[in-house]
Amino acid sequence: EATADFAVDDTEAALAKLGRATTEAPDSFEAWHALAEVNLSLRRLDAALAAGERAHAGRQRPERQRARSCARF
């Protein structure tokens, strides 16, 4: 839904939904990545960088790497 809001230029709705998504699923790469993209489009560079770093930090956690490896089998 946030992506659809962003696509029709409703960035405030997108930011609100992504804020809820990152609170409810703090390890969600997709939510943090989308938040970074929306903030970047608004030239909120510090917020975009912080969200991008958070997105990639979640992907680097060893327990997440193990879970992904196990899910393949």
- Structure-block tokens of residue 22: 């990152």
pLDDT score of 48: 97
- Stretches where the chain sits below pLDDT 50 are 65-66, 69-73
What is d(CA 11, CA 3) in angstroms, rounded to the nearest whole number? 9
What is d(CA 45, CA 37) in angstroms, rounded to the nearest whole number? 10
- Its pTM stands at 0.77
pLDDT score of 31: 95
Q: What is the largest CA-CA distance in the chain?
A: 42
pLDDT score of 70: 39
pLDDT score of 63: 57
